[in-house]
Amino acid sequence: MSGSIPKVLLHDHLDGGLRVDTVLELATAVLPTPSPVELTDWFDQEGVHSLERYLNAFGLTVSAMQTTGNLERISYESAADLAADGVVYAELRFAPSLATEEGLRIEDVLVAIDAGLDRAESETGIRTAIIVDAMRQMSDSEEVVAAALRTNLQRVVGFDLAGPEAGYPPTLHQRACDLALQGGLGLTIHAGEGDGVASIEAALQSGAQRIGHGVRIIEDCQVIDGKITDLSTVATQVRDRQIALELCPTSNRHTLGIAPSEHPIDLLYRAGFLVTVSTDNRLMSRTSMTREFALLADTFGWVREDFLAVTENALGAAFAAPGVVMSILENQVRPGYAAAT
């Protein structure tokens, strides 16, 4: 069932979702192997738990993203792959600064991504949006937001901080966050993945409307007999304000070593948090929305009603215009779930 139902994806990195064949064709960094099968395995972070390998993997994909033609193609392929997986609305994110090594401007990068997504939309009917990322360890966040706003692209709907949490608090990027919010962009911040509850609290203080991952919010919850029985201050705030958590179970297994059965997604969902499900990096985690849903069905016994609930949660937290969201909900998501057996 999980393959055919309509899905909504809020957290998917463009540089983490390339097709292996495209990497082989376009990457300029040295390839670890010319074989598609071996390269697929090399990218797969299952059981690796090596930050160095993880970063090398992104070095390879990003080396393929330095021209407008490549960016257009990679964005098109990403959205086409998502459409084939049953995704009806996706917010794809990328730090444009990473694609400026050979002279592109941030605006060029975003315009190329927009063109690729446009092509995928007209061919497949998927609706897409762009979240512009700045890296916490870099100092250009304000310029990234300013450039994103200058493009005036309708598809640019949000701003995100990614990269190492520890040592790089969002306060370093407060002006960028404020500029994004003033410019009408949604604000999501990666937090509570590499660092704990304090990092989630800091993201909220910086104005985050959603939290990228946020899985470690469970450390602010009391769990007794497989149930959340009490919440401390930050968890109370996240639940009561219905801050969307962009949870990525397979990615967390790879980067944090959380076994599927130990992932708190089901606990948080049953305790009334605004849980959404995402893929994070489809290439490095060898995953898809269908695989994430299958994992949740197998591990926690989630059924159609649960998938509909998290899909409606994701749409409700989407940064697209309310009219777009409502039309996807009424014309695609609800009829799709009603038809699913």
Residues that bind Zn ion (CB under 5 A): 280
Closer CB to Zn ion, 108 or 165, in the complex = 165
Structure tokens at 278: 């995402």
Residue 303: which residues within 8 A CB-CB, separation 6 or more? 297
Report, in Å, the least distance between residue 24 CB and Zn ion: 24
Q: Are 163 and 193 in contact (CB under 8 A)?
A: no
Q: Note whether 90 and 117 are within 8 A (CB).
A: no
How far is the C-alpha of 269 from the C-alpha of 310, rounded, in Å?
A: 9
CB of 68 to Zn ion, least distance (A): 24
Non-local (6+) Cβ contacts of 50 within 8 A are: none
Smallest distance, Zn ion to C-beta of residue 133, A: 9
Distance in Å, CB of 164 to Zn ion, minimum: 12
Q: What are φ and ψ of residue 154, in 5° steps? A: -60, -30
**Residue 286, amino acid:** R
Say whether 209 sits in a helix, a strand or coil.
coil
The distance of closest approach from Cβ of residue 295 to Zn ion in the complex, given in angstroms and rounded to an integer, is 17
Give least dist CB 253 to Zn ion, A.
14
Residues near 239 by Cβ (< 8 Å), separated by ≥ 6? 231, 271, 272, 273, 274
Pairing relation of β-strands 127-135 and 87-94? Answer: parallel
Task: Identify which of residues 60 and 329 has a Cβ nearer to Zn ion in the complex.
Answer: 60
Residue closest to Zn ion, measured at CB = 280
- 269 neighbors 310 (Cβ within 8 angstroms): yes
Neighbouring CB atoms inside 10 A of 261's CB total 9
Q: For Zn ion, which is the closer residue by CB, 77 or 280?
A: 280
Name the active-site residue from 77, 91, 193, 246: 193
Catalytic status, residue 121: no
| Of 85 and 280, CB closest to Zn ion | 280
Structure tokens at 62: 């990003």
Q: Which residues are identified as catalytic?
A: 193
